[in-house]
């Protein structure tokens, strides 16, 4: 059930209690968010705070500048001796100088490696790089997870829903999938498969080299696919359907094989997740291992509007390369009540003399990761999209994974709700996704964490 955070006047965040209430408002380009919850998340829900940071959909938000500017690119290599560069999404307020990554779920550091984990009653782990890339090279050395319904991903994702992917299905450890999307248009003919040796047992190095004129996907130093911008011309709209807006590197492990997901997504992932698998029995969770991640920034496009150097911001809701400017505007919120138009909005102060009890006003502040995953491949053909057919999840994209699944979704410890959950939502209670002490009031909800602002009602 959805959890809420209550701000009882001046009570500190760590001491707040949890209330129960309904889901947040849906949003789309034709149904924009209201001014009271102005930012639309990647998952199509309205809120403030973290909704206005990474993944804020300017097309569906109340206004383009409801979304906070995006921290500009930063070249760096991460080796994961610890998680000092990672902030949980329950604490990150946009200061990329203090945290290079923001996490949902339960990342771990072990032996100099980053582990993304997915325990029963959770929907996995997502790390998003807080510094956006406007063309550049992203490289990750990793071992994928394994098992039907389990998906490991290394992708670039923009707030305009431009996307460049490497994805790995746990039921097929000899295939890497590459894909791209333009502004979230669900064209599943863009995917291609590449054969390679066992992705769970062996490290491989995956590279996305993204230039204004060409994208190159490489594995272990060998180019396996290229996409020329010129080949993406849409004759109907007279524009290139080519990823061209600032994007974040995202690392994720998520359960595409949940019974609550659409048939196309489940089939694409090889079937329902087995919550009694060898890895669950031995470790308590599925896992993917990242040895290193490196990011190399390229120069912005020659036509870029340059008014600073610290952040990227959209000037209109077209979501095109020409709608982005480089600015020195702040990327930091004072509290989770803020948004791009009011970054300094803070929690209410104590009020003296009120005799009536406080009245809650609910504001969603931390979007969740649904069981359908962080990218467009989280919704396969047959899941009620714009008419693409094919419940087997193949449709020119996914090889022969569709028939490899089984029933393994009957385990009572499997999550029966879609949505990001850091703590148990049922089952045996052995979830490694439980919140840390002191953070329990920020446990994940079905789609969001909500704040109830307590406003005194005076006579």
Report, as residue numbers or ranges, the catalytic residues: 163, 167
CB count within 10 Å of CB 305 equals 13
Cα 340 to Cα 30, 201, 314, 360: the distances in Å are: 21, 44, 12, 23
CB 288 within 8 Å of CB 137: no
SS3 208: strand
Task: Show the CA angle centred on residue 208, arms to residues 203 and 214, nearest 5°.
Answer: 150
Residue 40 neighbours by CB under 8 Å, 6+ apart: 27, 28, 32, 33, 46, 51, 56, 57, 59, 60, 61
Containing 311, the helix (H) or strand (E) segment is: strand 311-314
Burial class (CB in 10 A: 0-12, 13-18, 19+), 359: exposed
Degrees, nearest 5: CA angle 317-314-347: 100
- Rounded (5°) CA angle 33-258-386: 50
d(CA 43, CA 64): 17
d(CA 42, CA 369): 9
Name 86's bridge partners. 101
Per-residue exposure over 172-189, b if at least 16 CB sit within 10 Å of its own CB, e if not: bbebbbbbbbbbbebbbe
CA distance readout (Å), 20 to 13, 211, 368: 17, 47, 16
Could you tell me the two tokens for 270?
Answer: 């090889």
């Amino acid at each position: 059930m959805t959890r809420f955070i209550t701000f009882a006047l001046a009570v500190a965040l760590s001491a707040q209690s949890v209330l129960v209430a309904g889901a947040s408002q849906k949003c789309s380009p034709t149904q924009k968010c209201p001014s009271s919850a102005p930012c639309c998340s990647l998952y199509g829900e309205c809120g403030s705070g973290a909704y206005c940071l990474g993944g804020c959909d300017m097309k569906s938000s109340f206004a383009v500048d409801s979304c906070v500017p995006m921290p500009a690119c930063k070249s760096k290599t991460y080796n994961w001796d610890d998680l000092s560069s990672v902030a949980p999404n329950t604490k990150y307020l946009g200061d990329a100088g203090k945290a290079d990554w923001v996490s949902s779920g339960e990342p771990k550091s072990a032996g100099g490696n980053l582990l993304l984990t997915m325990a029963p009653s959770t929907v996995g782990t997502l790390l998003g790089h807080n510094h956006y890339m406007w063309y550049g090279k992203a490289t990750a050395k990793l071992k994928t997870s394994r098992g039907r319904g389990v998906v490991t991903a290394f992708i670039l994702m923009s707030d305009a829903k431009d996307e460049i992917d490497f994805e790995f299905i746990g039921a097929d450890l000899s295939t890497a999938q590459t894909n791209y999307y333009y502004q979230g248009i669900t064209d599943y003919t863009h995917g291609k498969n590449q054969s390679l040796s066992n992705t769970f047992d062996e490290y491989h190095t995956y590279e996305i080299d993204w230039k204004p004129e060409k994208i190159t996907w490489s594995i272990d130093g060998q180019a396996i696919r290229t996409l020329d911008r010129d080949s993406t011309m849409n004759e109907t709209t007279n524009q290139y359907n080519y990823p061209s807006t600032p994007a974040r590197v995202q690392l994720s492990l998520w359960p595409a094989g949940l019974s609550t997901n659409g048939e196309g997504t489940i089939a694409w992932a090889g079937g329902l997740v087995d919550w009694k698998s060898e890895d669950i029995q031995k470790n308590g969770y599925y896992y993917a291992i990242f040895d290193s991640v490196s990011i190399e920034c390229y120069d912005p496009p020659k036509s870029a509007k340059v008014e600073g150097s610290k952040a990227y911001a959209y000037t209109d809701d077209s979501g095109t390369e020409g709608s982005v400017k480089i600015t020195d505007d702040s990327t930091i919120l004072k509290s989770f009540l803020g948004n791009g138009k009011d970054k300094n909005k803070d929690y209410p102060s104590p009020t003296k003399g009120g005799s009536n009890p406080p009245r809650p006003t609910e504001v969603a502040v931390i979007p969740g990761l649904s069981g359908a995953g962080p990218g467009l491949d989280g919704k396969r053909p047959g899941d009620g999209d714009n008419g693409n057919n094919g419940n087997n999840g193949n449709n020119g994209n996914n090889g022969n994974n569709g028939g490899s699944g089984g029933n393994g979704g009957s385990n009572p410890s499997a999550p029966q709700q879609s949505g990001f959950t850091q703590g148990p939502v049922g089952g045996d209670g052995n979830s490694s996704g439980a919140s840390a002490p002191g953070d329990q009031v920020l446990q994940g909800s079905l789609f969001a964490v909500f704040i109830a602002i307590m406003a005194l009602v005076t006579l």
